[in-house]
Amino acid sequence: MKYSLSLGKIMGIHVQIHWTFLILIGWIIYKNLSAGRTTEETIFAVLFILIIFVCVILHEFGHALAARHYGIETRGITVLPIGGVAELTEIPEKPREELIVALAGPAVNVIISFIIYPFLNITKETIAAMQWPSVDANTFLLNLMAVNLWLVLFNMIPAFPMDGGRVLRALLSFRMDRVVATRIAAGIGQFLAIGFVILGFLGNPFMIFIGLFVFLGAQNESEVVKTKSALQGYRVADVLMRDFSVLQTHQPIQAAVGLLLNGQSRNFLVMEGEQPVGTLSRDEIVKALSQYGIDVPVGQVMNTNVTFLHAEMPLGEAWQKMQQYEIEFAPVMHGYHLVGVIDVENIAEFMMVQNVTKSS
């Protein structure tokens, strides 16, 4: 995720904090000091947030390790002020696996609560003193358990992209088609999201953010599943472009401009001899021109983030891979041979054509 501060790798998974988390820390400090609390109390409050932050990371590791058990890797874990995100390289599609991976996160917070419980000092006074964001030595653990239980309840709200939404879809998928299950789960999610936004306007502005986050997440999930199902039964070979222009790494960017002006393509493959080594989009060409002039070699400014797709690969899988790696354009191989290129616009056009021919 962009604008994040890296904390390094833990168990092979990249952990980072989003910069907006720093705003949260700033807000806590401001709230405490402006309420006349001492520096010591303020430090306690910040420490408390940092420990919650660790609980959120552990929650995400719950998802990531459960996914790893099913052979799915996690690209990274990012902590945002509204919670964490584990970026799995793919979403498990078997209902049982999706269920376990979704439950593994909240399960971690349940375990943390069980660990804290024997050390709690629950009296009328400590409960009365539980006034967040004021946390002191007496109420520290009680607050920590409350937050962990809140993380469980909040995440189990049956709305995408919250864990509860995935649990709901997995449970529905045991009995029905995944696309239908997703549509139902996303519909429930959006209904709840509207409720959050209304609640937000009535009092808690934080809920507006969560409502929007859930609403867009549900819509996105629904689109992804719909697209994948529309592409089902097709292979990359069905949409690849066999006729395409290539550039060589040693050619000047001027050659790319020539191709851009002469043809319809917006993306080009860059080769080193017979081997594809990079891509170059229209925007990248324009940027390179303005930065380095017309003589810079293509190899110096190309995008080296190349994802190779295979001609026999299911089209839905290729499309999802392109979404995940945020690439628009990829070389298509058959064995060790380059047989064509594919771009996301091709796939979109292909779907449009399919829709028209299906409905007529």
CB of 169 to Zn ion, least distance (A): 14
* Residue number with the smallest Cβ distance to Zn ion: 105
Of 134 and 155, CB closest to Zn ion: 155
Residue 163 within binding range of Zn ion, rule CB under 5 A: yes
User: Least CB distance from residue 161 to Zn ion, whole Å?
Assistant: 9
- Minimal distance, residue 284 CB to Zn ion, in Å: 36
Q: Which is nearer to Zn ion, 105 or 299 (CB)?
A: 105
Rounded to the nearest whole angstrom, what is the least distance from the CB of residue 297 to Zn ion in the complex?
A: 46
Interface with Zn ion by CB under 5 A: which range of 111-119, 152-160, 303-311, 336-344? 152-160
Give dist(CA 319, CA 231) in Å, integer: 9
Structure tokens at 15: 């952990």
Asked if 217 interacts with Zn ion (CB under 5 A), we say no
Task: Please give the full DSSP string across 30-45, using - where no structure is assigned.
Answer: HHHHHTT--HHHHHHH
Two tokens at 38? 């001492």
The residue (of 58 and 180) whose beta carbon lies closer to Zn ion is 58
CB 285 within 8 A of CB 251: no
Strands (E) located in 232-328: 246-248, 267-272, 275-281, 309-310
Q: Which is nearer to Zn ion, 59 or 341 (CB)?
A: 59
Cβ burial, residue 270 (10 Å; 0-12/13-18/19+): buried
Q: Closer to Zn ion at the Cβ: 75 or 321?
A: 75
Q: Which residues contact 272 (CB under 8 A, 6 or more apart)?
A: 248, 249, 299
Task: State the Cα–Cα distance between residues 331 and 307, nearest whole angstrom.
Answer: 7
Least gap, CB of 79 to Zn ion (angstroms): 12
Per-residue mark of binding to Zn ion, 97-116 (x: CB under 5 A) = --------x-----------
Residues in touch with Zn ion (CB under 5 A) = 105, 155, 163
